[in-house]
A and B are shown apart, each in its own frame.
Chain A
Amino acid sequence: MLKLEHVEIRKGDFHLKSHFDLQQGHIYAVLGPSGGGKSTLLEAIAGFDPVSAGQIAWHDRSITTLPPGDRPIAMLFQDGNLFPHLTAAQNVGLGLHPNLRLTKQDQSEIVKALSEVGLDGLADRKPAALSGGQQARVALARLTVQRRDLILLDEPFAALGPALKAEMLALVADLARARHATVLMVTHEPEDARHIADQVILVAEGQAHPPVKTQQIFDNPPPQLRDYLG
């Protein structure tokens, strides 16, 4: 499990505090007003920005100073999740070996991952030749081969239509449940949280609040969430 112990993140005037634990195998939605620090929280956990105080620990081992690639984390960003000059298969392959030295076995794993997300026969296409939904699927296929215990989603499907987005989130949820992985997903839509999240982390006013059961937080929203939901 992931432990945030009195973690503080500072960026100029902005600061964010958090102190809570995340359970393995659960799906957490990160909800809150824009500019509240949702992405900042994810980027700090992923290791892109140093934390100014506190500890981040994974299974009681501190990962606070590990470089991003060495953390047990796979992350999808708001955009730019694929390299446009590499094929779908190569983009997935990066999740196995960052230097793309792929064995026969790796190749077949890539083909399998692509087929699981419904992209049979598109392995050699470059992103420009794929639709937005197919591009998202390639990124998902890479998540599956990465086999990381913690999946961070910074609204990677925001540009997709509602139906497609729901489908992608469902795919992520399936993947996480099958692997017993933990998911931390930023979202603007309470609906997304209701659909797939077990618990909700509210980020507002410089504070990432400890997770609360999804049902419970929507039944009885705290004031900041009520302001946000309107």
Chain B
Amino acid sequence: MAGRAQPVSAWPGTSAAITLAVLILGTLTAVALRAETGAGLGRAEWAAIRFTLIQAALSGLISVTIAIPVARALARRRFRGRRILIALLGVPFILPVIIAVLGLLEVFGRAGWISDALGLLGFEPIRIYGLHGVVLAHVFLNLPLATRLILQAWQEVPAERFRLAAQLGCDGRAMFWLIEWPMLRRILPGAFAVVFAICLTSFAVALTLGGGPRATTIELAIYQAFRFDFDLGRAALLSGVQLILTILAAALALWLATGTGFGKGLDRAVRRWDGANPVSRTADAAWIIAAALFLLLPLAAIVVSGLPNVLSLPSTVWSAALTSLLVAALSTCLLLLLALPMAFAIARGGRGIVELAGLLGLAASPLVIGTGLFIMIRPIADPFALALPVTALVNAITALPFALRVLVPTARDVVERYGKLGVSLNMAGLPFLRFVLLPRMRPQIGFAVGLAMALSMGDLGVITLFADPDIATLPLQIYRLMGAYRLDDAASASLLLLVLSIGVFWVLDRGGRRHAEA
């Protein structure tokens, strides 16, 4: 017996990690082998790289900049609905991107509410397509995450420090330089890096709001090379570039990031003694209202324009919804098969390959894996026939890093607290799994499963590579309706998708926490 006695064995986690690594690296190799035949990077490719970096940097910068005053206002004010608002900040993470895009179009688009209002005043309607549309959507999707990350750091400042500063007679400005600025300087680079990394791999936003030579991201260029030109060499080359960028960005984010934004206790208001004057009260209120409107109006727009037609939606939409549910369920099963053993192996203290494989999922771009799988499957079977299982698999891989972040800390706790007792009662292996680990981790498993289901339900990525006209997930169906300018149907289908995604997450998360003992 080498090392400490352990209540769970490592080999299932190690095998899961190896499977994952082989899958990710194998698809990469498949892509890389193709890339050699292609020419170097042309002008269009450089333009895509430049656009990708610029939009990601702008999205990160704007999200974080706006998040600072919003988080500050949320941290120091108590008001009715604060708890709900903070809970809502978690929604965009699982919100299907296509819904966000459609909602933003209804508010900010050419025929949207704001353009209509501008038109009444005699102004030109705003143009949402292109760089500013892409950045707008990314800010919409990531401002809440940035706010949560910064809010978490704010809440972690010990209340005693504010008390001491107040006792010393610090005013708002002095308090900022004394307490808040050092905290912000620590958290902001990480928050920026996380948003930057997320936007770097953004596909659905660029697909719907970008396009054209001046607003194409690398992911979108991969899709176009693959789908329109069937130029596997170019797709592979772009995949290589994308991979290098995502690895760099993921490394940067991991290096700089300190929190996850998943933390509990965000609904606690820090007691403060500054900012009682009317000016700062009004400013805080304005920030909170503006942020809430920015986040809620697009969703409200979907509800308003989608509600009338939900029941008369074409049958293709309903069957797409069913397809999406099945894909999401399959994807979640695959995720659990990978994530649970890996979390247990990491909890044992088994570092190395398992944790590394978990991080690999963070750097893997869905479209790159999809392209690789396509290349690998083609000699054996018809890749288009396997569109749905491939989508489920790729969704599982993308959700894995998040699932591990949720599962690992608790698994570690349980093994630490009850491992010895379990081993001394001869429960090592299945009994420990069944009677201790799984029951104790039920809330986290429920949360992870809900997350995986919702992410998969709303994903508009790999499926666009593989799908033929007869098959569609719900997000793809919405995209097609938008493409056909059937915006009312698209809104109704989006409402359906919204209800399904959020509902599925809510039910699973609740189910996990129900009757869970402390």
A interface residues, Cβ below 8 angstroms from B: 43, 46-50, 65-70, 73-75, 77, 80-81, 83-86, 90, 94-95, 98-100, 126, 128, 146
* B421, A81: Cβ atoms closer than 8 Å: yes
* B425, A85: Cβ atoms closer than 8 Å: no
Contact of A98 among B417, B427, B440, B516 (CB under 8 A): B427
Q: Quick check: is B435 within 8 A (CB to CB) of the other chain? A: yes
Chain A nearest CB from B347 CB (Å) reads 16
The CA-CA distance from A48 to B424 in the complex, in Å, is 9
User: Binding site of A, secondary structure by majority: helix, strand, loop or mixed?
Assistant: loop
The CA-CA distance from A74 to B425 in the complex, in Å, is 8
B interface residues, Cβ below 8 angstroms from A: 1-5, 417-418, 420-421, 423-428, 430-432, 434-436, 439-440, 516-518
Contact of A83 among B426, B436, B516, B518 (CB under 8 A): B436
The CA-CA distance from A50 to B5 in the complex, in Å, is 8
The CA-CA distance from A73 to B421 in the complex, in Å, is 12
Closest Cβ neighbor of A79 among chain B residues:
B417
3 smallest beta-carbon distances between A and B, as pairs = A69-B426, A98-B427, A98-B431
A67-B1, A128-B517 known; A98 and B420 CB under 8 Å?
no
* A68, B5: Cβ atoms closer than 8 Å: yes
Chain B nearest CB from A45 CB (Å) reads 11
Contacts of A94 in B (CB 8 A): 425, 427, 435
Q: Which of B417, B421, B427 has the most A CB atoms < 10 Å from its CB?
A: B421
Some 19 contacts from A to B, beta carbons below 8 A apart, are A48-B4, A48-B423, A66-B1, A67-B428, A68-B5, A68-B423, A68-B424, A69-B423, A75-B420, A83-B436, A84-B517, A85-B440, A85-B516, A94-B425, A95-B425, A98-B425, A98-B426, A98-B432, A99-B427
Contacts of B434 in A (CB 8 A): 99
Closest Cβ neighbor of A94 among chain B residues:
B425
A48-B420, A85-B440 known; A69 and B517 CB under 8 Å?
no
Chain B nearest CB from A97 CB (Å) reads 9
Closest Cβ neighbor of B3 among chain A residues:
A50
Closest Cβ neighbor of B442 among chain A residues:
A85
* A46, B1: Cβ atoms closer than 8 Å: no
Contacts of A85 in B (CB 8 A): 439-440, 516-517
Q: Which of B2, B418, B424 has the most A CB atoms < 10 Å from its CB?
A: B424
Contacts of B517 in A (CB 8 A): 84-85, 126, 128
* B421, A99: Cβ atoms closer than 8 Å: no
Closest Cβ neighbor of B428 among chain A residues:
A69
Contacts of A70 in B (CB 8 A): 426
Closest Cβ neighbor of A97 among chain B residues:
B431
* B423, A80: Cβ atoms closer than 8 Å: no
Closest Cβ neighbor of B432 among chain A residues:
A98
The CA-CA distance from A50 to B3 in the complex, in Å, is 6
* B518, A128: Cβ atoms closer than 8 Å: yes
The CA-CA distance from A228 to B7 in the complex, in Å, is 36
* A67, B5: Cβ atoms closer than 8 Å: yes
Chain A nearest CB from B191 CB (Å) reads 36
Contacts of B1 in A (CB 8 A): 47, 50, 65-67
Chain A nearest CB from B427 CB (Å) reads 4
A48-B4, A65-B1, A83-B436 known; A77 and B430 CB under 8 Å?
no
Contacts of A126 in B (CB 8 A): 517
Contacts of B418 in A (CB 8 A): 80, 83
Chain A nearest CB from B281 CB (Å) reads 43
Q: Which of B418, B440, B516 has the most A CB atoms < 10 Å from its CB?
A: B418
The CA-CA distance from A94 to B424 in the complex, in Å, is 10
Contacts of A48 in B (CB 8 A): 4-5, 420, 423-424
* A50, B425: Cβ atoms closer than 8 Å: no
Q: Which of A50, A81, A94 has the most B CB atoms < 10 Å from its CB?
A: A94
* A99, B431: Cβ atoms closer than 8 Å: yes
Q: A48-B423, A84-B517, A99-B435 are in contact. List 13 more A-B contacts (CB 8 A).
A: A47-B1, A48-B5, A65-B1, A67-B1, A69-B427, A80-B418, A80-B421, A83-B421, A85-B439, A90-B435, A98-B431, A99-B431, A128-B517
Closest Cβ neighbor of B515 among chain A residues:
A85
Contacts of A128 in B (CB 8 A): 517-518
Closest Cβ neighbor of B1 among chain A residues:
A65
The CA-CA distance from A99 to B435 in the complex, in Å, is 8
Contacts of B440 in A (CB 8 A): 83, 85
Closest Cβ neighbor of A43 among chain B residues:
B420
A47-B5, A85-B440 known; A67 and B427 CB under 8 Å?
no
The CA-CA distance from A86 to B422 in the complex, in Å, is 13
